[in-house]
Structure 1
Amino acid sequence: MRTSIATVCLSGTLEEKMHACARAGFDGIEIFEQDLLVSPQSPAQIRALAAELGLSLDLYQPFRDFEGVDEQQLADNLYRAEAKFMLMRELGMDLMLLCSNVATATLGDDGTAAAQLRLLGDLAARYGIRIAYEALAWGRFVNDFEHAWRIVELADHPNIGTCLDSFHILSRGWDPAGIEKIPAEKIFFVQLADAPQLSMDILSWSRHYRVFPGEGAWALDQFLGHLVRGGYAGPVSLEIFNDVFRQADEVRTAVDAMRSLIWLAERTSVHLQETDGPQARYPMELATLPQVPEPTGFNFAEVKAEDTGQLQTLLGQLGFTFQGRHRTKAVQLWTQGRARIIINEQQARNQEPAIAALGFDVADPVRAASRAVQLKAEPVPRQSQADEEVLQGVYAPDTTEVFFCQGTGDGTAAWTREFARPQDSSAAGTAGNTGLDLVTQVDHVNLAQPWQHFDESVLFYESTLALAPSPSTEVPSPVGLVRSQVMRTHDGAVRLALNIAPLVMEKPGPSSESAYPQHIAFACTDLVALARRAVAAGLEFLQIPANYYADLQARFRLDPALLATLQELNLLYDRDEHGEFLHFYTATVGSVFFEVVERRGGYNGYGAPNAPVRLAAQYLLAQRSRDGSAKIAGYARNR
């Protein structure tokens, strides 16, 4: 599959965009006219740069408002078109995108439109140029791809074909199956875009909210499948109008774009095999990736920090056992049940506690890592001694390190043998676990995402780890709405919540790192028993207001004894038709806190109604901490 991308997708100058596209591995680009008009480089220089970078110049676009006009306007349009043809000859380009008229058309007759396209085709032929006619979803008379094809068919000119754009077809709800009826040689170009399902006017939807394949709501594997089945073998290009993408780093965006096409090619290949059989052959070759099943669980979660005292205390109070330090690295291991927490003190100078890495149990770590790298993920460099486990890892878009670990049926991990068990577990500065393990495993992990990379993260986890995205939700906090999307395996063995915090919670600086707290949630068998044990060990839970419990009783009519226990221990509660959910939160250390959950029956959610309560309690605690720090600082100055 030949890959291409419109320069309008990226930020920066035309030259910067071209370098980014080449670096990401694209075969070619569409030149968006505005990018060329503002460039100080001549068309000849742009042509030379493309050759130097190994990029083909696939499409010049857009040419607007041509057909369906009176004779005088037609003459003006032909004059304008010829000027563009001469420019394209300097660029060495032979294909122009013609959008259906949205502004100047006064004649809705297909015969007239076809005749005018034929005249344009005659003029284009003299310059060795072809025209790809595209139906815009908001075109005045032509807004349907099948209507546009009928006009091209009427024009009956070798230099006039059609361009198919997934956004213009799917946003109007047209059935893309009709693509297979169009002769493949008359489909001159294909543009792809995904989009979230929104209720708004199509023009605004198109101009601001398109995303790369796999980051929206549409079945683009089926869309591309119709093209492949119909015999199309030309470039598959991305045309994405998105305010966020055009503000983000152009190289990152280009890599994300390329990842989306690699993922889409694989998905389309699988779709065609399922529908047409594995023996079916098509003119377009669709590369596939190493196939990997879903992860079977969390292998570990890692928190990095310089000062680890509070983390050690929290884990000890939750009943975790200190398993010792790594024999060659400044790393600690804490465990309870199958839940493993690594505290990493390496290269952590002046760093407050933050989630740094996640390990996932997979069937074949090498194969999983190979797949991720082929999807443009950057490998994590990791030094290992000769007798140490080699862990395969890549960076997620938010720089979290994602490791692929060998899953085992008994839940053990070979790398834990590298930790020297202490003679006295209290040597770590906290009491060890002296009771029954009530925590069984990591239930889910919540990661804050930079706003400009949220869609990229969704695609990353879906394509590399086969995690399926759940519908996104918005949770109110004292400083704005928090958007959340859960990525998970079908059996719930891995649940990963991705959150975008309000911009006010973004830390200053070039990294755009979020100050929104992240957390690791542990599953347990008896939350009340664990909470009482933690209280006895000195753990202070996040304080939940009495108003919450009054509302809880109004909604659920709980047994008074249960309600009293919940309020006494600052536990939260939710219930649905499948079961019950009890959970509590610890205070935040740095940007990390812990949650412990108990799922009863078939409850499969995350206590979403309680999220605003947690956010408000955390905000109030942070505000009091800031006020206290300010008072202490003021006292010191006055002294």
Structure 2
Amino acid sequence: MSLDWTSLQTIPRSYASCSLGNPTNPPPLLDRLDAISAAGFTAIELSFPDILSYGATVLGRSPDPKNYDQLCDVASAIKSECDKRNMHVMMLQPFSNFEGWKDGAQNADGVDGRADAFERVNGWLRIMKAAGTDMLQVGSSDTPLEKLDLNRVVPDLQQLCDMLKEHGFKVAYENWCWSTHAPDWKDVWRIVKEVDRDNIGLCLDTFQTAGGEWADPTTESGLLEDVSKIELIERFQQSLDDLKFTIPGDKIYLLQISDGYQVPEPLSKGPDESGTNPRGRWSSDRRPLPYNGGYLPVVDVTTAVLRTGFRGWFSYEVFDAGAEGKGRNVDIVAYAKAASNVHNRLLAECSGKKFPVTHDHGTRITDRE
């Protein structure tokens, strides 16, 4: 049975502020907000790195990442700029490496990971208020397993939910496909059910789902090779069937949209010098818009999510440094408009409608000279 086209027209559109333009040298934030607004998006995901970078404009100097008085001033200024453009901050992201720390385990900065995690919670709560958003994205931790006590994951998230509920806020928990303990949608859904709070739901992502269960940037084929291609197709389709029949639509808070480039040469299988594993490296700069050179089954993932009954936020989060991952400059106004056209085409294809691909919609965004 096809999806109801009329219901798909109600889906609101957001764009992740950090992901428009060259990932290695992003344009000024206000230029990005102008482009996102002009393309018809009504909200942004506000990233913490954007707060830090825009802080130099607001404060005349780069803010201290732990000076929450300063960071709240910056977030308030960004909210004002969004208000001027008839947009709002849909979500603050990305809150990482939060759950499950062992007592005494140190994070990458050499400080107590658990103490730092809850210190950040209190600070980010203040930023959420200043930015005018009620949703915090938490990515499934990629902290090394030897530093985690997995029995603490659920209690930590319960405590987080309870802290946020005091302010009317909620948690969007996302599976990052390079996570050490919850890389797949089934992992985070199990955790969300065990947390059992009414203010936690899922942040699903076409890249994270297909990039973890279908693709592999370390193989020549770009696909998982532990089974045959036919078995891979069957296994992935079964996962999508499970998703659409398992998750209630109201427990999905948003769907992030991006594709993935097949890398010209397979990435090394081990972590890099920063400790980031291959899928984490792939994610950071090789995620184009759908229909623009990627190879992931984005339509299949999106259709499965829509079949849960979900009609919430579609948020476009792309990190497009080209297939080589070396960075490229694009016309951000044209890119944001292309994202808007991708949204229309994606919904059309999910509903079984034919979508006319014209010069305006394009199939690839050209580099700007």
TM-score by length of 2: 0.72
Quick one: higher RCO (CA 8 Å, sep 6+), 1 or 2?
2
The change in CA–CA distance for 1:246 and 1:23 in structure 2 (over 3 A counts) is: farther
The 5 A counterparts of 1:402-551 are 455-456=364-365, 512=369
Say which is worse superposed, 245-254 or 78-87, in terms of deviation.
245-254
Contact 1:24 1:255 (C-alpha < 8 Å) held by counterparts: yes
1:96: which partner in 2? 136
Distance in 2 separating the partners of 1:195 and 1:234: 23
| Aligned: 1:183 with 2:248 | yes
| Aligned: 1:26 with 2:41 | yes
Distance in 1 separating the partners of 2:129 and 2:43: 17
Distance in 1 separating the partners of 2:301 and 2:144: 31
The change in CA–CA distance for 1:217 and 1:455 in structure 2 (over 3 A counts) is: same
CA drift of 1:177 comes to 2.8
Distance in 1 separating the partners of 2:295 and 2:337: 21
Distance in 2 separating the partners of 1:93 and 1:105: 32
Contact 2:102 2:148 (C-alpha < 8 Å) held by counterparts: no
Counterpart of 1:66 (choices 98, 118, 138) is 98
- Matched residue SS, 1:147: helix
Contact 2:17 2:44 (C-alpha < 8 Å) held by counterparts: yes
| Aligned: 1:222 with 2:308 | no
2:261: which partner in 1? 196
1:122: which partner in 2? 162
2:312: which partner in 1? 234
Distance in 2 separating the partners of 1:115 and 1:223: 30
Contact 2:98 2:141 (C-alpha < 8 Å) held by counterparts: yes
The 5 A counterparts of 1:87-166 are 87-103=127-143, 106=146, 110-166=150-206
CA drift of 1:227 comes to 1.3
* Identity rate, percent: 25
The change in CA–CA distance for 1:48 and 1:139 in structure 2 (over 3 A counts) is: same
- Matched residue SS, 2:365: helix
List runs of 5+ in structure 1 lacking aligned partners: 272-288, 293-370, 378-395, 398-453, 458-499, 501-510, 513-639
The 5 A counterparts of 1:201-216 are 201-215=278-292, 216=294
- Matched residue SS, 2:310: coil
Distance in 1 separating the partners of 2:342 and 2:38: 15
Contact 1:108 1:141 (C-alpha < 8 Å) held by counterparts: no
Q: Which amino acid aligns with 2:281?
A: S
CA drift of 1:110 comes to 5.0
Q: Deviations over 1:143-167 (max 9, x none)?
A: 1111111011101111222211111
Distance in 2 separating the partners of 1:177 and 1:5: 27
> RMSD value over aligned CA atoms?
2.4
1:266: which partner in 2? 348
The 5 A counterparts of 1:568-607 are none
Distance in 1 separating the partners of 2:129 and 2:46: 14
| Aligned: 1:6 with 2:16 | yes
The 5 A counterparts of 1:357-396 are 372=358, 377=360
Q: Which amino acid aligns with 2:196?
A: D
Distance in 2 separating the partners of 1:256 and 1:138: 28
Distance in 2 separating the partners of 1:54 and 1:193: 24
| Aligned: 1:250 with 2:332 | yes
- Matched residue SS, 1:69: coil
Q: Deviations over 1:238-278 (max 9, x none)?
A: 1111225762222121112112111111111117xxxxxxx
The change in CA–CA distance for 1:30 and 1:13 in structure 2 (over 3 A counts) is: same
Q: Deviations over 1:27-83 (max 9, x none)?
A: 211112111111124322211221221112111110110111124633331121110
Contact 1:59 1:95 (C-alpha < 8 Å) held by counterparts: yes
Distance in 2 separating the partners of 1:247 and 1:176: 35
CA drift of 1:170 comes to 0.5
Say which is worse superposed, 112-121 or 173-182, in terms of deviation.
173-182
Contact 2:91 2:137 (C-alpha < 8 Å) held by counterparts: yes
1:54: which partner in 2? 86
Q: Deviations over 1:365-420 (max 9, x none)?
A: xxxxxx85xx9x3xxxxxxxxxxxxxxxxxx87xxxxxxxxxxxxxxxxxxxxxxx
Q: Deviations over 1:601-626 (max 9, x none)?
A: xxxxxxxxxxxxxxxxxxxxxxxxxx
Distance in 2 separating the partners of 1:207 and 1:189: 20
Q: Deviations over 1:161-206 (max 9, x none)?
A: 2211111110122533332111222112211111233443322221
Distance in 1 separating the partners of 2:257 and 2:33: 19
The change in CA–CA distance for 1:166 and 1:132 in structure 2 (over 3 A counts) is: same
Higher alpha-carbon Rg = 1
Distance in 2 separating the partners of 1:96 and 1:240: 19
- Matched residue SS, 1:38: helix
- Matched residue SS, 2:15: strand
Distance in 2 separating the partners of 1:83 and 1:222: 38
Give 1 or 2: higher strand fraction. Answer: 1
| Aligned: 1:44 with 2:76 | yes
2:64: which partner in 1? none
Q: Which amino acid aligns with 2:307?
A: R
The change in CA–CA distance for 1:56 and 1:456 in structure 2 (over 3 A counts) is: same
The change in CA–CA distance for 1:168 and 1:185 in structure 2 (over 3 A counts) is: same
Counterpart of 2:125 (choices 71, 85, 97) is 85
The 5 A counterparts of 1:263-412 are 263-270=345-352, 372=358, 377=360
Q: Deviations over 1:517-539 (max 9, x none)?
A: xxxxxxxxxxxxxxxxxxxxxxx
- Matched residue SS, 1:66: coil
